[in-house]
Structures are given as structure tokens and as C-alpha cells.
Structure 1
Amino acid sequence: MYAMQYEITLPADYDMGIVRERVATRGHLLDGLPGLGLKAYLMRERGTHSLVNQYAPFYLWTAPDAMAAFLLGPGFQGVVDDFGRPEVRHWTGLVCEEGPATGATPRTAVRRRQRIPGAAASLAAVSEEAAKETRRLAGLDAVVCAALALDPRSWEFVHLTLWDHDSPDAPGERFEVLHMSAPHRAELAGGAR
């Protein structure tokens, strides 16, 4: 499993209705994309849990070749044509767990980045603790699913939790979920062990 996200920060006076319309008319195009576990079309609006306007889709891929095919294909080229070429962060996926609200449409995503302690810490032990936290989150009412990924370049974890309501009580950066494409979501269950 591989995680990927790009953040397109937009001007303070940008009409976020344009992003909503974009997702409403194009989001379904990835609903059957080979190798895509899930894509959560995330957005933040200035003044609503955020200081910025931002379009920031988050992806979980079943294989790196599917991620590469998307980045080099027409879908991502549409993003580049409309917004310029964003920096794309990517992580090695560790865990993806379904929650009690697995059948619901997610409305909110919470992303939390966690720095991994210094070199003296056991990576295996720290990773297992982070995985336990992801599984704990996945067990909470109103959670659609929760994922954990690792960036070995900066030595940080990224936690993403999708909720079926607008105001989860969870620390991290909050995003509105405009749509979710999840053609191969079942293949993500559990993640790396």
C-alpha cells in the first residue's frame, strides 16, 4: 500500500465553489481506476477550521505502478493544467483499517503528522505503537476508515481518519471530504504487517 497527497493552496479570495464543481463533475472518473484503493477528495476553506483555502486530495494505492500510471497519465495532467504542478508527497502505507461506519459516506477527514523520535528509538516499536493508535481510531463510532503511512525521508508518520460527520473530536488538520473514489478499497484492509 502507498499513500500520496498533494496540497494546492489557493488565494484567500478564491471561489471554493470552483473546486466543489470540479469534484462534482470529475470525481466519479476515478471510481473504477485500477490500483486505486481510495481517493478522498479533500478541501479546506479559509475561516472554516483553516487559515487557507486548499484542495488536497489523499490517495491510498494498492501498488506503486498504479500510482505512477496516474501521475504520468491524463488524470493528474488535468490537475497540472488547471493548477500547475504541485509537490506530491508520498508515503509507504503501513495500516488501513475499516471503522464501524465503513458503509457511510465520509464527510470529514483528519490528518495528523507525527515525528518519529530520535535514532535511539526502535523503529519497529514506534511503528507498532502508531499502528495500535490507528486501529484504536478505526474502532471509534463514526469512523469510516483510518490509515497510517510512513515517510522514511523525514521520519514521520501520517495518520488519516475519515469520519461520517462534520465535527469529530480528534487532533489534527481537518478537511471536508467532497467525494471518495474507492474501487479497490477492500485490498487495503490491514496493510503491511
Structure 2
Amino acid sequence: MHAMNYRITLPADYDMKIIRHRVATRGHLLDDFPGLGQKAYLIRERGVAGSPVNQYAPFYLWNTPQGMNSFLWGPGFQGLVDDFGRPVVEHWTGLGFARGPAVAAAPRAAVRRAQPLPPGEEPAAVIERELARLPELAARPGVHSVAVVVDPRHWELVRFSLHQDDPEPDTGGDADEDGGVGVERYEVLHLSRPGLDAIETGRQW
């Protein structure tokens, strides 16, 4: 499993109906994309639910690197580059994945929780603690799925979760925000899930 995310921050007065229309008319194009586990089309709007920015931020889980490569170097991503410029594409190695009780429902909310791994802390210990929580977090009511991924270049651990409805703050890990953990909440406009059933569950090694 490979995770990928780009966050396009838009002007404060940007009409987010443009993004909503974009997803409504184009989101289905990846509903059967080879190698894709799932793609969540995410937005957050300035002044809504505490968001300081307007942002379009699709988050992908890939089953194969070939699928990810064919998207990045194909016409779909180039269309986004043509419209918004070339974004920074963050990507992570998969550590764990779990489906929740609401996996069959269309998720309407997402939480991205990014945690830096402190230089003095053993990376494996941090990862083991996060993976130990994965089954309990995924089993909560309304959870669609939870993925745990890591970037070993910047030593960042990310937990990405999808929810049937907007979750309670502690579901996304917001209680840890003051410890250097960044939590971002998004609205899900569409979910392409051609290979969701094929995403390996549990520990990824």
C-alpha cells in the first residue's frame, strides 16, 4: 500500500463551488482506475468547521506503484497541473490498514493526523504504538477505514481516516494536537474505491 496526498491551498475568496463542480463532473473518472485502492476527494473551506484556508486535498491509497505512476504521468494529473499548477505530492509507505463498520457507506468526512517522530525517540516504538491502536480506532461506529503510513525522509507518521459523518474530536486524535501533532478535518465530496477490497488489512510487513 502506498499513500499519496496533495493539498492545494486556494485564495481566501475562492469560490469553492468550482471545486465541487469539478469533483461532481470528473470524480467518477477514477472509479475503475487500475491499481487504485481508493481516492478521497477532500475539501475544506475557510471559516467552516474551524478551517483557516480554502483547500482541495485529494488523498489516495494505491495497491500498486504501477497504478500510482500511471496516474502521475498520465492525463488526469496533467489536467490538474494545467488548472492549478504543479503541487507538492506527499507520499508515504503503508504501515497498516483496517476497514470499519461503515465501510459500505459513502464517507462524508475525513481526518488527516500527522505526527513528527522526534529525533530522540525510537521510530519503531512510535509505529508499534500507533499500529496497536489501529483495530480499536477502526472499530468505532461510523468509521469507514483507517490507514497508517510513514514518510521516512521527513520522519512523519500519518493516520488517515474516513468517516460516515463528522467524527467526535477524539476519534481523529485531536486531543494530541498540542504535542506537535497536526490534525486537519475535511469534507469528502466523492470516494473512488476500485480496489478497496484488495487493500491488505492489518500490519503491512
> Is the shorter-chain TM-score for this pair beyond 0.5, marking a shared fold?
yes
Mapped partners of 2:194, 2:95: distance in 1: 19
Mapped partners of 1:120, 1:6: distance in 2: 28
Residue 117 of structure 1 and its aligned partner are, at CA, apart by 2.9
2:23 is equivalent to residue 11 of structure 1: no
For 1:83-98, list aligned pairs within 5 A.
83-98=84-99
Mapped partners of 1:139, 1:130: distance in 2: 15
Residue 188 of structure 1 and its aligned partner are, at CA, apart by 1.2
Residue 167 of structure 1 and its aligned partner are, at CA, apart by 4.2
Mapped partners of 1:78, 1:133: distance in 2: 38
Residue 128 of structure 1 and its aligned partner are, at CA, apart by 1.6
Mapped partners of 2:142, 2:13: distance in 1: 33
Corresponding residue for residue 52 of structure 2 = 51
Q: Name the TM-score, length of structure 1 as normaliser.
A: 0.95
Mapped partners of 1:168, 1:63: distance in 2: 33
2:192 is equivalent to residue 192 of structure 1: no
SS at match of 2:83: helix
SS at match of 1:12: coil
Corresponding residue for residue 160 of structure 1 = 160
2:178 is equivalent to residue 177 of structure 1: no
Q: Name the TM-score, length of structure 2 as normaliser.
A: 0.90
Mapped partners of 1:165, 1:109: distance in 2: 9
Tell me the percent identity.
Answer: 56
Mapped partners of 2:38, 2:82: distance in 1: 23
Structure 2, gaps ≥5 residues long: 175-182
- Aligned pair count reads 192
Structure 1, gaps ≥5 residues long: none
